[in-house]
A and B are shown apart, each in its own frame.
Chain A
Amino acid sequence: MILQTLNELGIALVTGTLQGSVYALVALGIVLVHRASGVFNFAQAEFGTTGLFAAYTALTLWGWSYPVAFVFGLAVAVAMGLLTERLVIHPLRNASRVTLLVGTAGVALAAVGFQFWQFNDTLIMTMPKINDGFFLVPPFGAPVTVQQLITFGVLVVASVGLALYFRSPSGLAIQAAQQEPTAAELVGISVRRVSMLTWGIAALLGGLAGILSGPNTTFTAGFLSFGAGRALLPGFMAAVLAGMRSMPGAVAGGLAVGVVEQLGSLTIVAQYVPGPREAVLFVFLLAVLLIAPKGIFVRKAALA
């Protein structure tokens, strides 16, 4: 019993870290948007699912090649992000943050509605993985797919890329616009363009999360039911762990949430608790928010 649990813990660690890379990608987008507009972006997951459906359409229905379909999916996701910024965020820029949250929820709802409408006929969809390789990692025999490793790699590249970008002039401009919009305007930084840039990047991250995680399972149009969609809540939790402001914290948080969620799959938990993963996530979120509301993976300097 103990041995089995330890075995499962080891598997949970491996699986959770890999699963967490998707959550980290989503969390990065959430943190980015929050720092820029103060908005909890509920459409972050739908950037991913929209990108996935677009890639699926290009690949399966239009017969494009995989790389082209992949890029197309990302492009559609980015377009959706920019549209959201233009049609919802910008008109509501002076509204309360809660109103903006409702607005992004509306965008998410619209995206799902559109997916239902267009994909109503094919109820089970699959997307091929980039590579179908699969192996069991010793010593616990945790299942690892090459697709998951690729996702993890993309996360690493994205994090490094973002870190470097934010040290560049335009990245600094973004930070300036986030911190002091009026002053930034005065020195010639277009807050408007910065906002669009931020949302574009967030949508790109979301799209990556979606197109990379979609092939792991079958999917069908639905609310928060697969891939990046399911990653919305864990993504937000990771962002909370990062205090809603730290990008490295978002990455660490994503991996942490991934592992914690897998704890729900342990037999000792799953035997007695129905829906164990949701239960674990809920308890974890409560614990984090009530004990350390300012986040855990936050640099002290960033808190200031």
Chain B
Amino acid sequence: MTQTPVQRPGEDGTTETAEIPAVGTHRADLGPDATTVLPPVPPGTPDDELDGDDADGLAEADEEFRPRRAGWLGRGIVWALLAWLVLAYPVNVFSPFDVGVADVDIASRAVIFAIGGLSLNVLLGYAGQISLGHQAFVGLGAFTSAFIVTNLQLSFWFAVVAAAVLGAVQAVLLGLVSLRLTGLYFALVTLAYGAFAEQTLFGISALTGGEGGKPAPRPVGFESGYSYYYLCLGFLVLVLWLDWRLTRSKAGRALAALRENPRVASSYGINVRSYILVAFAVSGIFAGIAGSLTAHHDEIIVGSSFDFRLALLFVLMTVVGGLRNRVGVVIGSAFFALLEEGAFVEIVESVVTALGFAPHFFQNVLGLPGEFVSLVLGPILLLLTLTLYPGGIGQQVAPVRGWLTGGRFDRHAGEVKEVEVTDVRA
């Protein structure tokens, strides 16, 4: 190990050379508990030179980046396109294809799934608690809302609030259980709870209508598919805002700190238990909202819809979307919703047919009937995400996102080393 000469400004303005031992040298003369030596940082070193990334020692060019005129134009067009895609196309305005009333229901479902995905994201991404029974949270919200509107004859707005509250209560109860268990055992409890909810809770015929289902009429003024879509979008915006506030709040920052280094963070006096319960409560609220919207979207709900398959779908949506990445989770959830409804297959097949391939591409060329594309594609995407692209869709979208918000198009933005589900109490 050699010694490295370093130029330092001396006290009187001259530079002097000092022999600094290289990194990794063990200084025995400093005593038995001397630690290895790190190179000192000369005072006055500008921040950019602290970065060890660049090979040639030059700081990265981080002058403030301003897009050119053409860049502004490009960004504006894409923003407008996005706005059109979300706000106008599903309701058949300025739409090249005829989006019928049933098709817009698919779009509504995608929005509802997005809310559900954000709900699980709070649990799985922020608090690191794995929930394999998340469909029970949503289901309880759905049946609560349906019961309140159909049996108690109260307004939808009251029902959705009640569903959110009940969702939070249920989630906090499970959260209390989770405080006593480590992550994997809690996963088992949620699995058992999901089955219990589907068979027992949703099997109480007097409340849930049995196998024939429970009616849940649309709220007044939102009967049409188009207006219901906007209603769902409104709730999604609300949920996104709440999620944003959560991450910015003390609870959110505490959870982030806990994820980084649980022991250090808890030694700072962070009340782990209450923040976890907060995470559960928020997750429950979101799930309750999603449930209520689902109930009134379908207008009739059955307990058997909230089965283990849906639980796995939620996990898929969140993980493939990219944990802790709101945009990714929303896109991932929407994607899986479209996949479930068969819309994805239709879209792909129409594009492929337009390009000249055989129609019914999946069936004829791949031998995979349309209904099963989702069942096959889901796990493939999950395994890809886990092994190759841990940031999920969020990672893929991050460069575009950075660009859209006025920055550079950075290919490596959003890269994540692995899918981190860190139990914050570990």
Binding site for B on A (CB under 8 A): 40, 87-88, 91-92, 94-99, 101-103, 105-110, 112-114, 116-117, 120, 223-224, 233, 236-237, 240, 273-279, 281-282, 285-286, 289-290, 293
Contact of A224 among B203, B204, B308 (CB under 8 A): B308
Contact B379 A276 (CB under 8 A): no
Contact of B421 among A87, A88, A96, A237 (CB under 8 A): A96
Q: How far is the CA of A233 from the CA of B198 in the complex (A)?
A: 14
Contact of A278 among B199, B376, B380, B387 (CB under 8 A): B199
CB-based nearest A residue for B199: A275
Residue among A88, A103, A106, A223 having the largest count of chain B Cβ atoms under 10 Å: A106
CB<8 Å pairs between A and B, sample of 12:
A96-B418, A98-B421, A98-B423, A102-B319, A107-B383, A114-B376, A117-B368, A233-B188, A275-B203, A278-B192, A285-B192, A289-B180
CB distance from B301 to the nearest CB of A (A): 16
* Contact flags B172-197 to A (C-beta < 8 A → 1, else 0): 00000100110111011101110110
Whether B312 is near chain A, meaning CB under 8 Å from some CB there, is yes
Whether B372 is near chain A, meaning CB under 8 Å from some CB there, is yes
Whether B315 is near chain A, meaning CB under 8 Å from some CB there, is yes
Q: Which residues of B contact A101 (CB under 8 A)?
A: 130, 184, 187
Q: Which residues of A contact B180 (CB under 8 A)?
A: 289-290, 293
Q: Which residues of A contact B204 (CB under 8 A)?
A: 274
Contact A274 B200 (CB under 8 A): yes
Instruction: Number of B interface residues at 8 Å Cβ cutoff, please give it.
Output: 49
CB distance from A33 to the nearest CB of B (A): 12
Whether B128 is near chain A, meaning CB under 8 Å from some CB there, is yes
Contact B372 A116 (CB under 8 A): yes
CB distance from B66 to the nearest CB of A (A): 40
Contact of A40 among B184, B387, B419 (CB under 8 A): B184
Q: Nearest 3 pairs between A and B by C-beta?
A: A275-B199, A274-B203, A113-B375
Q: Which residues of B contact A277 (CB under 8 A)?
A: 199
Known A-B contacts A88-B386, A92-B387, A275-B200; A99 and B376 likewise in contact (beta carbons under 8 Å) = no
Whether B382 is near chain A, meaning CB under 8 Å from some CB there, is yes
CB distance from A236 to the nearest CB of B (A): 5
Known A-B contacts A102-B421, A109-B378, A120-B369; A282 and B386 likewise in contact (beta carbons under 8 Å) = no
A-B pair count, CB < 8 Å, reads 149
Whether B420 is near chain A, meaning CB under 8 Å from some CB there, is yes
Binding site for A on B (CB under 8 A): 128, 130, 132, 177, 180-181, 183-185, 187-189, 191-193, 195-196, 198-200, 203-205, 307-309, 312, 315-316, 319, 368-369, 371-372, 375-376, 378-380, 382-383, 386-387, 418-423
Decide if the interface of chain A is mainly helix, strand, loop or mixed: helix
19 further A-B contacts with Cβ under 8 Å, apart from A103-B383, A109-B375, A289-B185, are A101-B130, A101-B184, A101-B187, A102-B130, A102-B319, A102-B386, A103-B386, A107-B379, A109-B312, A110-B383, A112-B375, A117-B368, A120-B371, A223-B309, A274-B199, A281-B196, A285-B189, A285-B192, A289-B189
Q: How far is the CA of A274 from the CA of B421 in the complex (A)?
A: 35
Q: Which residues of A contact B184 (CB under 8 A)?
A: 40, 97-98, 101
Q: How far is the CA of A135 from the CA of B316 in the complex (A)?
A: 46
Decide if the interface of chain B is mainly helix, strand, loop or mixed: helix
Contact B386 A106 (CB under 8 A): yes
Contact B312 A99 (CB under 8 A): no
Q: Which residues of A contact B181 (CB under 8 A)?
A: 289-290, 293
CB distance from A247 to the nearest CB of B (A): 19
CB-based nearest A residue for B204: A274
CB distance from A63 to the nearest CB of B (A): 23
Q: How far is the CA of A113 from the CA of B368 in the complex (A)?
A: 11
Contact of A223 among B308, B371, B380, B419 (CB under 8 A): B308
CB distance from B144 to the nearest CB of A (A): 17
Contact B382 A98 (CB under 8 A): no
CB distance from A186 to the nearest CB of B (A): 25
Contact of A236 among B188, B316, B422, B423 (CB under 8 A): B188
Contact of B379 among A109, A273, A293 (CB under 8 A): A109
CB-based nearest B residue for A110: B379
CB-based nearest B residue for A38: B184
Known A-B contacts A114-B376, A117-B368, A282-B195; A273 and B383 likewise in contact (beta carbons under 8 Å) = no
Contact of A102 among B200, B307, B372, B382 (CB under 8 A): B382
CB-based nearest A residue for B132: A105
Contact A278 B200 (CB under 8 A): yes
Q: How far is the CA of A113 from the CA of B196 in the complex (A)?
A: 24
CB distance from A191 to the nearest CB of B (A): 20
Contact of A117 among B177, B200, B308, B369 (CB under 8 A): B369
CB distance from A232 to the nearest CB of B (A): 8
Q: Which residues of A contact B419 (CB under 8 A)?
A: 95, 99, 102
CB distance from B300 to the nearest CB of A (A): 19
CB-based nearest A residue for B377: A113
CB-based nearest B residue for A114: B376
Q: How far is the CA of A110 from the CA of B379 in the complex (A)?
A: 5
Q: Which residues of B contact A293 (CB under 8 A)?
A: 180-181, 185
